[in-house]
Structure 1
């Protein structure tokens, strides 16, 4: 899994021109980790990968070097996902997921997009439930959190206030663009203890691009033109974040 990262480091060491920026795009789940399932049997892992590929293609056109944490239907340990970003000293990490609700009525009526960045404390009970669902999808062999200190590792992974602030700015940049471009219901930018974000030493966010549990939204997310719209919004949000970051450093 680290071969693309190693190739990038070797190229830079050999004097190759550096990319405009380096992004790691993480398609959630994969392999035995199917994620949530739509009413018509579509898997979250499949749609996340389709959208991630489209985001990567758009970022590459902007001059970015992009690494996908998976390029096929394979399982990747959660700890490895942020480790890939750290290994290549990426400028940002974006994990793509699709949301789900637990009850028949909630599935029928709930739609919209949410964007998260790492925190020991969830914004609300729904954010806590989303994090719990995503965190439960660990592979055998993945390190288990200490039951007496479930967020200790997450707190220690927040390198400093600048890292947290960068993640917050990235979250708002991609979320605002996603809402305005797709017309999806704005469910807000939130914080929650996601293990997939823990350990990332750069701005890192998790985007729930829609509710796969809602039949109408799931079918919309299956459509190639809507996937392109989502991908364009995420790529544009990343570009906005990069522009703001460069301006702040001057």
Structure 2
């Protein structure tokens, strides 16, 4: 990756030769690395052939299943009913498949349930309700889901198994069960003359309504550094849309507003560009790495592929770095990458994207989810019609090389007349900046 970012062909060749050798030893297909090597050093490239793995014996298959904790179940539904969180799975969960522990964080208690082997049909689910702050269900690692019940007060949740379901009592239900248990004990005949009279039960108190997460103190946020990257600049105008408005101008204005908001909250903040100048892609993440940033936020504005789509193409979306899986992601990435990577061939791109740091991809995905949700909440407080285009993955080269969670935000379509006007509106920019700042704080609150 370093060789690609620095334009060091010798280092690229050495890396590709190493990847080819490692692939052969592991019985993997080295074709993509051979193709990339062929564009740099045809004399060193070989014809890659896919090595066929030896078929596993029944014993090996059995050991493999055991090693992975058995067949993974799928979570079919997760909902709150009658004071319980009911989790329904495609098959029963083994009793030793649930690990429970408690964490205390900033005046809140987190009751954590790790359940395996399970996979989710979504990235994260959040449920709010009476008596608790929030329930979160997310894929913690490839084979384990994590359920977190966040409350203001301590309680004793005792999960139960019922066929394909696991039921976790929430604060109100747990208190009721505890009272019933005590009442049942009191109703039993005294076992001796020294038996104590039952104490008078306390009056019922109304459960507090769900509330927003607490704001993080500035003293804590001063530990975090954010590098904001206004896309394009200088000779690279980016997308040019409605009324000839330019992407480079819109994103710089939003980036400056975001810088003000973050600094006011206590963050250390740097911009990759403060004015209308062109900055090569590799220098943008290099600045973030040099500043030892905790977050890299690249801000862009989207554009419809053709004029007939200007009115219907709209909305906000957030990307994290990965190999594109959809035509839409490939199209957007091609637009944002076009200024600088024309000379990098398809094979080289594929080869280097295949060895991305998976841990950073997962962290960037989580950050993207928090940013998308908080941006929408902020802008919809004033502009109800803003479209949620979701969190997506794509091969954005401005994010390559970042050694921290890194995302690219498309803050709206500059080709859409309504959104183009909003992108140059002070009110809209402030709401966007507040939303992005809230998203960063949300990520810190839930993951740090």
The bucket for the TM-score relative to the shorter chain is 0.7 to 0.9
CA RMSD of aligned residues (A): 1.7
1:178-227 per-residue CA deviation (whole Å, 9 max, x = no partner) reads: 11221320011000101000110110000000000111110011110111
- Conserved in 2, the CA contact under 8 Å of 1:123 and 1:190? no
What number of residue pairs does the alignment pair up?
Answer: 224
Look up the SS of the partner of 1:150 in the other structure. Answer: helix
Please state how far the C-alpha of 1:143 moved relative to its aligned partner.
Answer: 8.6
Whole-angstrom CA distance in 2 between matches of 1:92 and 1:66: 10
Match of 1:8 in 2: none
Say if 2:369 is the partner of 1:166: no
Match of 1:85 in 2: 288
Match of 1:245 in 2: 447
Match of 1:145 in 2: 344
Look up the SS of the partner of 2:329 in the other structure. Answer: helix
Whole-angstrom CA distance in 2 between matches of 1:81 and 1:145: 18
Whole-angstrom CA distance in 1 between matches of 2:247 and 2:236: 9
- Conserved in 2, the CA contact under 8 Å of 1:151 and 1:193? no
Match of 2:391 in 1: 189
Q: Larger C-alpha radius of gyration, 1 or 2?
A: 2
Unaligned runs of 5+ in 2: 1-220, 381-385
1:3-59 per-residue CA deviation (whole Å, 9 max, x = no partner) reads: xxxxxxxxxxxxxxx932001000000000100112211110011000001111111
Match of 2:300 in 1: 97
Using the size of structure 2 for normalisation, the TM-score is 0.48
Superposed counterparts of 1:1-250, under 5 Å: 19-120=222-323, 122-138=324-340, 144-156=343-355, 158-159=356-357, 161-183=358-380, 184-246=386-448
Q: Which has the higher contact order (CA 8 A, sep 6+)?
A: 1
Whole-angstrom CA distance in 1 between matches of 2:273 and 2:425: 22
Look up the SS of the partner of 1:117 in the other structure. Answer: strand
| Segment of structure 1 superposing worse, 142-151 or 80-89 | 142-151
Using the size of structure 1 for normalisation, the TM-score is 0.85
Higher share of residues assigned strand: 2
Look up the SS of the partner of 2:227 in the other structure. Answer: strand
CA distance change for structure 1 residues 151 and 209 in 2, over 3 Å: closer, same or farther? same
Whole-angstrom CA distance in 1 between matches of 2:407 and 2:444: 14
Please state how far the C-alpha of 1:144 moved relative to its aligned partner.
Answer: 3.7
